[in-house]
Amino acid sequence: MNRVGFILQVKADRLEEYKAHHKQVWPEMLAALSATGWHNYSLFVRDDGLLFGYFETPDDLQTAVARMGETEVNAKWQAMMAPFFEHSADTQADQMMLELTEVFHLD
């Protein structure tokens, strides 16, 4: 199992609404994440919108994102979430994840 950490930038003025959407993630989105190998998925965010995400997967980040990209629900979720992120208008947020290098893990 690979541990993946990544960062994204949420627009600070949209942060509260972004957090509200994540209090009730669609059941079909949760099912798709699980079915495509995303486990122990967590999101953390600072007040300025810097978002840190973590999940475990049998795949690497690119493969995990690609597998989710094959689901219908991911396209709908990404379209809904697009206005919340600092990124170019023609790129989905899941394509903008900046992967971090793990330097320590306590087993």
Residues annotated as part of the active site:
22
Rounded to an integer, what distance in angstroms lies between the CA atom of residue 66 and that of residue 80? Answer: 18
Rounded to an integer, what distance in angstroms lies between the CA atom of residue 16 and that of residue 67? Answer: 29
Cβ neighbors of 65 (< 8 A, separation 6 or more) are: 94, 95, 97
CA nearest to 22, candidates 8, 2, 36: 8
Query: In angstroms, what is the C-alpha Rg of the chain?
Result: 13
